[in-house]
């Protein structure tokens, strides 16, 4: 099918590449001219595992092209809107870009189009889209509007798109539902050639859930808010563990064994970040407020999350006493591993707080340093984890990249000024760290000193 994707961010680019991979003819547009020319020249505007290879493959096969919004609107029988919906100062989602695209479709398209909102939008945005398409239509456009929320995680978005647990569509006409079913048929049947797994693990066919537009829109916000609530919940349990002398990793394990709770998203740490959870929780609170529902539960989720940075800084202060003039290593800047995305990354907030108190930061991240430099230039950016730790009074692990787990601790011990690791993600093996003479401080009562090494490794 001829499909268009408007917006080449994480979601749009993954959507365009994967839809082309499963056999569709896709045109993807981007309004940022610099980004667009990079994509047209075969470059990548962002880091996302596997995406570059998939794009190369489908472009070579002639199934993916990049260009302007106008060209995209003219191309596709179905148009996916994947533009940004950033937060406004009052927490509402800014729907400016969506409105602009609706206007452009209304003015530029003729015949029939299925307009699909994939960007995360407040409930009833579909109704607004319908209204604006009809108000601005000048060339006899016939259309349906549908919602198709994405559940892609940055870092694993290609796999998430091609092997989803569920595909949710919200359509208010049989025609729209049928088109979406046809678009996703190769994924529902898992009948495409998988570009990332040589012997693709059969993950079970995804569930195709068709609802009305309003319900589909709500599913997205409710899912993200629920996951954020799980994280804030375990972060509060971690605080309690620290006071009463319990170990949050054991508490989380015990809780997660109950299938009604499940073990995922129970990792405590410095709080959730990224461009989705913080803004989606805020937007969901506002949506509820405007509908007369006081969702104060989510206000607490947000408040707990905002408190994570200060609590972590307090932990650093407790250990180092005076921060002024101290050299501190920061391992990890991205809001989570396997991405270069630093938007709303707790690591950046922590660095700013430490700098405000006079600390000097030496930072390293495998992918996110270019983006971080634009946000906080006054940091010493280093080649690797060892260089970042050299001469420092503490190493703070703020993003749980796999390579930090593989550090040669005995080598590291010779480089630091003081052997102290503060693990903001409970990602490191305590035994490895303390048996090499480091004092280890984790989140939620999982700290250990070198003296406890033999007890931990059972000798």
- How many residues line the site for ligand UGA (CB under 6 A)? 21
49, 74, 94, 151: residue in contact with ligand UGA (rule CB under 6 A): 151
Least distance CB 152 / ligand UGA (angstroms): 5
CA Rg value for the chain: 24
What lies within 8 Å, CB to CB, of 261 at 6+ separation is: 255
Bridge partner list, 115? 79, 145
The Cα 162–Cα 15 span in angstroms is: 10
Binding region for ligand UGA (CB under 6 A) out of 19-27, 275-283, 365-373, 411-419: 275-283
To which H or E segment does residue 166 belong? strand 166-171
Whether residue 161 contacts residue 14, with contact meaning beta carbons closer than 8 Å, is answered with yes
Strand pairing category for 380-381 and 420-423: unpaired
Least distance CB 309 / ligand UGA (angstroms): 12
Q: Does 266 bind ligand UGA (CB under 6 A)?
A: yes
Least distance CB 337 / ligand UGA (angstroms): 8
The Cα 134–Cα 71 span in angstroms is: 21
The Cα 21–Cα 190 span in angstroms is: 12
Least distance CB 458 / ligand UGA (angstroms): 28
| Tokens of residue 187, six digits | 């994924």
249, 267, 392, 447: residue in contact with ligand UGA (rule CB under 6 A): 267
The Cα 332–Cα 400 span in angstroms is: 7
| Tokens of residue 368, six digits | 């996110």
Whether residue 38 contacts residue 8, with contact meaning beta carbons closer than 8 Å, is answered with no
Q: Does 269 bind ligand UGA (CB under 6 A)?
A: yes
Phi/psi class of residue 258: alpha, beta or left (left: φ > 0; alpha: ψ in -120 to 50)?
beta
Strand pairing category for 327-331 and 166-171: unpaired
- Here's the x/- map for ligand UGA, 157-196, by CB under 6 A: it reads as ----------------------------------------
Beginning with the edge strand found earlier in the chain, give each strand of the sheet holding 112-117 in spatial order: 64-67, 25-29, 2-6, 78-81, 112-117, 142-147, 166-171, 207-211
CB of 419 or CB of 442, closer to ligand UGA: 442
150, 365, 393, 423: residue in contact with ligand UGA (rule CB under 6 A): 150
Q: Which of residues 119-148 bind ligand UGA (CB under 6 A)?
A: 120
Least distance CB 351 / ligand UGA (angstroms): 15
Least distance CB 198 / ligand UGA (angstroms): 25
Whether residue 438 contacts residue 430, with contact meaning beta carbons closer than 8 Å, is answered with no
Binding region for ligand UGA (CB under 6 A) out of 180-188, 259-267, 367-375, 407-415: 259-267
Nearest by Cα to 69 from 57, 82, 58: 82
CB of 30 or CB of 150, closer to ligand UGA: 150
The Cα 26–Cα 63 span in angstroms is: 6
Least distance CB 298 / ligand UGA (angstroms): 15
336, 360, 371, 430: residue in contact with ligand UGA (rule CB under 6 A): 336
- Here's the x/- map for ligand UGA, 204-233, by CB under 6 A: it reads as --------------------x--x---x--
Binding region for ligand UGA (CB under 6 A) out of 41-49, 102-110, 179-187, 274-282: 274-282
| Tokens of residue 293, six digits | 């529902």
Strand pairing category for 394-397 and 420-423: parallel
80, 143, 277, 331: residue in contact with ligand UGA (rule CB under 6 A): 277
Whether residue 48 contacts residue 13, with contact meaning beta carbons closer than 8 Å, is answered with yes
Q: Annotated catalytic sites, by residue?
A: 276
CB of 95 or CB of 276, closer to ligand UGA: 276
CB of 132 or CB of 221, closer to ligand UGA: 221
48, 154, 302, 393: residue in contact with ligand UGA (rule CB under 6 A): 154
Q: Where are the alpha helices (DSSP H) in 90-162?
A: 96-108, 125-136, 157-162
Q: Does 272 bind ligand UGA (CB under 6 A)?
A: yes
Binding site for ligand UGA (CB under 6 A): 120, 150-154, 224, 227, 231, 265-267, 269, 272-274, 276-277, 280, 335-336
């Amino acid at each position: 099918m001829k499909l268009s994707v408007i917006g080449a961010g994480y979601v749009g680019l993954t959507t365009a590449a994967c839809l082309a991979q499963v056999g569709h003819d896709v045109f993807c547009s981007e309004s940022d001219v610099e980004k667009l020319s990079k994509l047209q020249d075969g470059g990548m505007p962002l880091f996302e595992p596997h995406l570059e290879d998939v794009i190369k493959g489908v472009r070579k096969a002639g199934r993916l092209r990049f260009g302007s919004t106008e060209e995209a609107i003219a191309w596709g029988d179905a148009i996916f809107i994947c533009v940004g919906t950033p937060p406004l100062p009052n927490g509402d989602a800014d729907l400016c870009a969506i409105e602009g695209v609706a206007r452009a479709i209304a003015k530029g398209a003729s015949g029939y189009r299925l307009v699909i909102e994939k960007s995360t939008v407040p409930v009833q945005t579909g109704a607004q889209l319908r209204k604006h398409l009809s108000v601005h239509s000048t060339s006899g456009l016939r259309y349906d509007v549908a919602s198709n929320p994405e559940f892609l995680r940055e870092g694993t978005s290609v796999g998430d798109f091609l092997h989803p647990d569920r595909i949710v569509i919200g359509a208010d006409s049989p025609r729209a539902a049928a088109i979406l079913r046809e678009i996703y048929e190769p994924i529902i049947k898992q009948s495409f050639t998988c570009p990332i797994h040589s012997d693709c693990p059969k993950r079970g066919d995804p569930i195709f859930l068709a609802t009305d537009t309003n319900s589909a829109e709500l599913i997205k916000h409710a899912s993200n808010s629920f996951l954020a609530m799980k994280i804030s919940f375990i972060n509060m349990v971690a605080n309690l563990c620290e006071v009463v002398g319990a170990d949050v990793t054991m508490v989380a394990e015990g809780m997660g064994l109950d299938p009604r709770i499940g073990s995922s998203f129970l990792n405590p740490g410095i709080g959730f970040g990224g461009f989705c959870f913080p803004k989606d929780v805020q937007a969901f609170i506002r949506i509820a407020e405007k509908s007369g529902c006081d969702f104060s539960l989510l206000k607490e989720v947000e408040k707990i999350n905002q408190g994570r940075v200060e609590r972590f800084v307090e932990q650093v202060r407790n250990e180092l006493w005076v921060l002024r003039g101290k050299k501190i290593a920061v391992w990890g800047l991205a809001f989570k591993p396997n991405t270069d995305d630093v938007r709303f990354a707790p690591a950046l907030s922590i660095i700013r707080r430490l700098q405000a108190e006079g600390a000097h930061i030496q930072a390293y991240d495998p992918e996110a340093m270019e983006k971080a430099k634009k946000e906080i230039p006054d940091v010493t950016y280093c080649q690797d984890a060892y260089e970042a730790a050299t001469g420092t009074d503490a190493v703070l692990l703020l993003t749980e990249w796999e390579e930090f787990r593989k550090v040669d601790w005995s080598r590291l011990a010779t480089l630091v000024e003081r052997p102290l690791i503060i693990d903001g993600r409970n990602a490191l093996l305590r035994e490895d760290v303390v048996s090499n003479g480091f004092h280890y401080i984790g989140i939620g009562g999982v700290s250990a000193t070198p003296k406890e090494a033999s007890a931990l490794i059972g000798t």
